[in-house]
Amino acid sequence: MKRAVIIGGGISGLATAWLLQRRAEQEGIELALTLVEKEPLMGGKIRSIRDDGYLCEWGPNGFLDSKPQTLDLCAELGASSRLLRSNDNARKRFIYSGGILNRLPENGPSFLKSSLISWPGKLRLAMEPFIPKYTASTDESLAAFGRRRLGDEALRKLIAPMVSGIFAGNPETMSLVSCFPRIAELEREYGGLIKAMISLAKKKKQEQAAGKVVSSAAGPGGVLTSFRDGTQTLSEILVSRLEGMELLSGVEVKEVRKGGTVPYRLITDQGELECDLAIIAAPAYAAAEMLSQLSPGVASTLNEIPYSSMTVVCFGYDRELISRDLDGFGYLIPKEEKRNTLGTLWDSSIFENRAPTGKVLLRSMMGGACFPDYVKLPDEEIIKRVRADLKVIMGIDAPPSFARLFRHEQAIPQYTVGHGKRLAALSEGCAALPGIILTGNSYRGIGLNDCVAAAHRAADEGMAQLKKR
């Protein structure tokens, strides 16, 4: 019998365990599987907290349905009936700039009417088709890409807030090709973003004529999707379906060593585990510590992947206390506005069942790579700063009737310039360690869809390696 251990009980580890178990059954391979999680609760940063009638997401609030693997996973788990699509108004997204909330334009005419970008900035954007495409071999930062193709104002008011909203990152240090590979691909393929938009618009019309459903031009492709009882539903279902598998929670893997009669020994704070295959679905910094003795080179590269901090603040209000409409997804804030928060999501407008009747739930983000020390502020100071932003931006002067804070000191991996080279070095280093596989959101995508895709890759690679033994 082969033995495999998956380290990390977040969505990446849970999905990998489920997929590997199914592949082993399909291949007729007798496999003993163990999943080890450091925390008492499985699920990693996916956690949904029901409190006083509100549903607060500790981490991500859903996934886009434009990629099939997560939807397929839900179908395989029998969870499709529990999915919840975001309201149509979630397509309306805003940027706070110049003292007002500016709706992100959906098309050319609305862009021309928008006051978000000045006329000089719009003229600079109009020059984008005439900018030569990037031909250098060096990795380019998101900020460098934005200035080069779109101009400084578009960088400050469009790209930088988007980067802080998705990665809690700094565009000056983040890698374009690692963070947004599709954008880099569009420039290479079409020579520019506007040229790509024109070509893709023609394709979209052809798809609509053929009866296919396509997403709106505003916002990311696909519809934001979650579960009626929050994203934690997915991890709970996965745990319940991992039948016949040993699940160890509250157990920390300290070190991975070469084994004697088996390839590897895992040293935990509660004993040792032996295995033929070790899939590490833990954050890069945790994986580095585990592999520090077995492969100092791999550990050193893993330690080069930084993480941003994040504080999530959930406020509940009586709807009648908020004068403006909440018909939208929420807003992001450019750094130049000198506010305390990165932005606020109108959670109860995005998904139903997030707040009691007559109430609203607002979820604000604070910190990120540009403000790393915010995570250390006292609770009272955090609440004070968030309230100050909501008063200026949304006119909310009343104190919240509900408040919850969630701190993440190492929240989101940062794909900084040179990330691609780090991935190549990790691939080379792990090739010398057959039976060791790295997976999770530290490498090729931070979202829930990315984690599921990574789980498929890890399960495929794991099965290939088990067949060789």
pLDDT at 107: 77
- The DSSP annotation for 107-130 comes to SHHHHHH-SSS-HHHHHHHHTGGG
What whole-number distance in Å separates Cα of residue 177 and Cα of residue 184?
6
For residue 225, being part of any structural domain is answered with no
pLDDT at 216: 42
For residue 397, being part of any structural domain is answered with yes
Per-residue model confidence as pLDDT tens digits over 392-409: 999 999 999 999 999 999
Q: Which of the listed ranges 23-27, 191-195, 323-327, 421-425 does the model predict with the highest average pLDDT?
A: 421-425
90: pLDDT confidence band, cut at 50, 70 and 90? confident
- What lies within 8 Å, CB to CB, of 319 at 6+ separation is 358, 359, 360
Q: Is the pLDDT of residue 170 over 60?
A: yes
CATH number of the domain enclosing 383: 3.90.660.20
Read off φ and ψ for residue 24, nearest 5 degrees. Answer: -60, -40
pTM of the predicted structure, to 2 decimals: 0.93
147: pLDDT confidence band, cut at 50, 70 and 90? very high
Comparing CA positions, the residue from 330, 443, 325 lying closest to residue 389 is 330
What whole-number distance in Å separates Cα of residue 378 and Cα of residue 380?
5
Same-domain check for residues 316 and 294 = no
CATH number of the domain enclosing 176: 1.10.3110.10
The single residue listed with the structure tokens 């319940």 is 240
**In this structure, are residues 159 and 193 in contact, taking their beta carbons and an 8 Å threshold?**
no
- What lies within 8 Å, CB to CB, of 281 at 6+ separation is 6, 7, 8, 9, 10, 12, 13, 16, 439, 440, 455, 458
Per-residue model confidence as pLDDT tens digits over 197-245: 889 888 878 777 766 544 444 445 789 999 999 999 999 999 999 988 9
Comparing CA positions, the residue from 133, 151, 125, 149 lying closest to residue 187 is 133
Alpha helices (runs of H) in 210-329, residue ranges in sequence order? 232-241, 284-290, 296-302
Whole-number percent of the chain with pLDDT over 70: 97
Per-residue model confidence as pLDDT tens digits over 281-321: 999 999 999 999 999 999 999 999 999 999 999 999 999 99
Same-domain check for residues 140 and 285 = no
What whole-number distance in Å separates Cα of residue 226 and Cα of residue 230?
6
73: pLDDT confidence band, cut at 50, 70 and 90? very high
Per-residue model confidence as pLDDT tens digits over 28-63: 999 999 999 999 999 999 999 999 999 999 999 999
For residue 53, being part of any structural domain is answered with no
Same-domain check for residues 152 and 192 = yes
429: pLDDT confidence band, cut at 50, 70 and 90? very high
Task: Please give the tally of structural domains in the chain.
Answer: 3
Same-domain check for residues 318 and 299 = no
Q: How far apart are the first and last CA of the chain?
A: 11
Other Cβ atoms less than 10 A from the Cβ of 120: the count is 10
For residue 233, being part of any structural domain is answered with no
**In this structure, are residues 365 and 342 in contact, taking their beta carbons and an 8 Å threshold?**
yes
For residue 52, being part of any structural domain is answered with no
Going by the DSSP 8-state scheme, the letter that residue 65 receives in this structure is T
What whole-number distance in Å separates Cα of residue 391 and Cα of residue 395?
4
- What lies within 8 Å, CB to CB, of 233 at 6+ separation is 48, 79, 82, 227
Q: Is the pLDDT of residue 15 over 60?
A: yes
Average pLDDT, the chain: 94
Same-domain check for residues 301 and 333 = no
Same-domain check for residues 30 and 72 = no
Same-domain check for residues 293 and 373 = no
User: What DSSP element (H or E) covers 443?
Assistant: none
**In this structure, are residues 39 and 8 in contact, taking their beta carbons and an 8 Å threshold?**
no
Domain that holds residue 174: 108-213
* β-strands 271-275, 402-413 pairing: unpaired
For residue 51, being part of any structural domain is answered with no
Task: Tell me which of 397, 413, 429 is where a domain ends.
Answer: 413
For residue 274, being part of any structural domain is answered with yes
User: What DSSP element (H or E) covers 13?
Assistant: helix 11-27
Same-domain check for residues 261 and 360 = no
The single residue listed with the structure tokens 């499985």 is 42
Alpha helices (runs of H) in 280-351, residue ranges in sequence order? 284-290, 296-302, 347-350
Task: Tell me which of 213, 232, 264 is where a domain ends.
Answer: 213
pLDDT at 303: 98
Same-domain check for residues 16 and 156 = no
- Average pLDDT, integer, range 105-110: 81
Task: Tell me which of 413, 428, 452 is where a domain ends.
Answer: 413
CATH number of the domain enclosing 264: 3.50.50.60
